[in-house]
A = this chain, B = another copy of it.
Amino acid sequence: MSTAIGQYRYTKDKPSLLARMKRIEGQARGIQRMLEEDRYCIDIIQQLTALSGAADKVSLLILQGHIEGCVTNAIREQHGEAHIKELIETLRKAMRR
C-alpha cells in the first residue's frame, strides 16, 4: 500500500520529526548513563516513561500526516477501504487491544 517516494505528508514535518527522534535517541543514551551510574530506580523509570511518551507523540504526528495524506487521497480515488483497515489495525496495535 505504499506510494511514490516523497509523497507522504509527513515529509513537510520531516525536520521536526527527525529532531524528535534525535532527542529520543539522546534519552536512550542518557538512561544507559543513569544505569551505569547506579542511579535511583524510580528516576530511571521516570525517564523511560518520558521516552515512551515521546515515541507515542511521534506516532500520533505521523498518523495525522498519514490520514491527511495517504488515507485522504485513497478515499478520494475510491479505494479507501484497504487504507482504513490498515489504519485501524495499526491503532489496535498501538493501543495494545
- Select which of B21, B28, B49 is within 8 A of A93 by beta carbon: B49
User: How many residues in A have their beta carbons less than 8 Å from beta carbons of B?
Assistant: 68
Q: Shortest beta-carbon distance, A26 to chain B, in Å? A: 9
Each complex incorporates copies of this chain amounting to 4
- A80 engages B87 (CB within 8 Å): no
- A67 engages B90 (CB within 8 Å): no
Complexed CA–CA distance, A14 and B51 (Å): 19
Complexed CA–CA distance, A79 and B9 (Å): 18
A40 to chain B: which residues have CB within 8 Å? 1-3, 8
- Select which of B21, B62, B97 is within 8 A of A41 by beta carbon: B62
- B84 engages A68 (CB within 8 Å): yes
